[in-house]
Amino acid sequence: MFYLGIDFGTSGARAIVIDQQENILVEVDANFSSKVSPKLAQNWQETLYDLLLQIPLEIRQEIEAIAINGTSATVLLCDAEGNPIDEPIWYDDKRGVDILDNLKKVVPVNHLVCTATSSLAKLFWWYKTPLFKHAKYFLHQADWLTFLLHGKLGISDYHNALKLGYDVKNLCYPDWLKQLPFDSILPEVLPPGTPIKTVTTEIVKRFHFKPNCLVYTGTTDSIAAFLASGVQQPGEAVTSLGSTLVLKLLSQTRIDDYSSGIYSHRLGNLWLTGGASNTGGAVLNHFFNNEQLEILSNQIDVNTESKLDYYPLLKPGERFPINNPNLVPKLEPKPDNNIIFLQGLLESIAKIEALGYEKLQALGATSVTKIYTAGGGAKNETWRKIRERYLKVPVIVSQYTEAAYGTALLAKRSHVR
Ligand code: ADP
């Protein structure tokens, strides 16, 4: 019995099949052409089918459950048959800025969706266009791709629907949202990992899945990456050391501080809290390439402290853990010795990470007990030791970090529950 997780990003997609023991059996990739290409949704569909065909037939035939994750707030407007009536709008598309004032009139003050890039801002923008009269379904990237497998329109999950304004505490659309003129095209929202339907007969014929292979509601890419780490207990966290520094902490309590970019996703009866800082690997790469990072890091004496106190940023401005749009980068004094300079950078980022977890806990999140690490900086053992000193909890490198693996786990654990 096997389980399939599919991750759709901004330029590529990956599928991972796991077995009953949650080991990876197959991992396949496919790229789709540029972010701005016409017929984008069609490209996604072809990429999805390409991924499915790359999975060896004998494995495909044993798949019991499938789930898909997509980029959060990448959305589509579809007709009654599920055909997109316009190009999808990407997660980072800021056209919603044109209608932000209108949006603010109907949305509660300081709500998470009051940004130009929220799913609701995009829907609002579409509502003002002539083609809106043909719209029957508003879906997220993952919802639509999942629909291609099970054939039932108008289904989403509460991770994808958070930035649409769905109330994840009370599990309903809030009244202010239901009163808006596009209520009828909003998707039904289910918990991530809810069985929707078996794969369609066309999909069975085309890819030779078993007819009773079940398709589940999915999640977003960043939550899928979190799930991949295997974190299950409140107090466990995942830090992503990519080009930016992203913290995620599983908590018994929900915390929100939208001005600092802190919000909580629901995860069953727990909350996935977190925030993102502008510091991180992009600043390291401003001074050193990856090879230098590795060589210099190996020469750092982790038993000493550099006493350098930086706030590494590429340009002014920070939201979390310090909310100050004008925060000035601090990268002085710069010692002549590059080993000491890098030590100062790594220590300073570790201090910002520690401050981030302190901030989440100060807002009421469960105390941190253990931190898993993902992203390009995770392989740096020197940094792991430095971070452990400031974070004062065990810092562990995640065995799995791929979003597709997290989504395969979601499918498997939902299926065998
Ligand atoms: P993203 O997906 O956010 O672009 P990745 O997770 O691929 O980023 O990580 C890339 C980052 O990892 C780069 O910004 C780089 O600075 C950092 N990185 C790569 N190698 C090392 C290393 N040995 N030590 C610390 N950071 C590293």
Q: Each residue's pLDDT tens digit in the chain (417 positions)?
A: 999 999 998 888 999 999 999 999 999 999 887 555 668 899 999 999 999 999 999 999 999 999 999 999 999 999 999 999 999 999 989 999 999 999 999 999 889 999 999 999 999 999 999 999 999 999 999 999 999 999 999 999 999 999 999 999 999 999 999 999 999 999 999 999 999 999 999 999 999 999 999 999 999 999 999 999 989 899 999 999 999 999 999 999 999 998 888 999 999 999 999 999 999 999 999 999 999 999 999 999 999 999 999 999 999 999 999 999 999 999 999 999 999 999 999 999 999 999 999 999 999 999 999 999 999 999 999 999 999 999 999 999 999 999 999 999 999 999 998
pLDDT at residue 261, as a whole number: 87
Q: Output the CA 343–ligand 1 centroid distance in Å.
A: 16
Amino acid at 59: I
Considering the domain architecture, whether residues 239 and 207 belong to the same structural domain is answered as no
pLDDT at residue 103, as a whole number: 94
- In terms of Cα–Cα distance, which of 318, 251, 248, 332 is closest to 280? 318
Residue 375 near ligand 1, beta carbon < 6 Å? yes
Considering the domain architecture, whether residues 106 and 191 belong to the same structural domain is answered as yes
Cβ atoms 409, 8 nearer than 8 A = no
Q: Using the CB atoms, write b or e for 171-191: b if 16+ within 10 Å.
A: eebeeebeebebeebbbebbb
Q: Output the CA 122–ligand 1 centroid distance in Å.
A: 31
Q: Output the CA 296–ligand 1 centroid distance in Å.
A: 15
pLDDT at residue 37, as a whole number: 64
Nearest atom within ligand 1 for CA of residue 285: 16
Residue 293 near ligand 1, beta carbon < 6 Å? yes
Residue 243 near ligand 1, beta carbon < 6 Å? yes
| Chain length of the chain | 417
Considering the domain architecture, whether residues 236 and 116 belong to the same structural domain is answered as no
Residue 281 near ligand 1, beta carbon < 6 Å? yes
Residue 284 near ligand 1, beta carbon < 6 Å? yes
Considering the domain architecture, whether residues 349 and 277 belong to the same structural domain is answered as yes
Considering the domain architecture, whether residues 276 and 347 belong to the same structural domain is answered as yes
Q: Whose CA is nearest to atom 4 of ligand 1?
A: 243
Considering the domain architecture, whether residues 190 and 235 belong to the same structural domain is answered as no
pLDDT at residue 35, as a whole number: 59
Q: Whose CA is nearest to atom 23 of ligand 1?
A: 294
d(CA 417, CA 414): 5
- In terms of Cα–Cα distance, which of 125, 16, 136, 142 is closest to 73? 142
pTM assigned to the model? 0.92
pLDDT at residue 32, as a whole number: 84
pLDDT at residue 417, as a whole number: 83
CA distance to 60, 183, 189, 328, per residue, from 173 (Å): 37, 9, 9, 40
Considering the domain architecture, whether residues 180 and 66 belong to the same structural domain is answered as yes
Q: Whose CA is nearest to atom 12 of ligand 1?
A: 376
Considering the domain architecture, whether residues 178 and 280 belong to the same structural domain is answered as no
Q: What residue numbers bound the domain in which 188 lies?
A: 2-222+404-416
Question: What CATH number corresponds to the domain at position 168?
Answer: 3.30.420.40
Q: Output the CA 79–ligand 1 centroid distance in Å.
A: 41
Considering the domain architecture, whether residues 245 and 169 belong to the same structural domain is answered as no
Residue 376 near ligand 1, beta carbon < 6 Å? yes
Number of domains in the chain: 2
Q: At what angle do helices 290-298 and 338-362 cross, to 10 degrees?
A: 90
Considering the domain architecture, whether residues 138 and 277 belong to the same structural domain is answered as no
pLDDT at residue 36, as a whole number: 59
Considering the domain architecture, whether residues 293 and 186 belong to the same structural domain is answered as no
Nearest atom within ligand 1 for CA of residue 244: 3
Q: Output the CA 221–ligand 1 centroid distance in Å.
A: 18
**Cα four-point dihedral sign 233, 235, 241, 244:** positive
Considering the domain architecture, whether residues 181 and 314 belong to the same structural domain is answered as no
Q: Whose CA is nearest to atom 13 of ligand 1?
A: 281
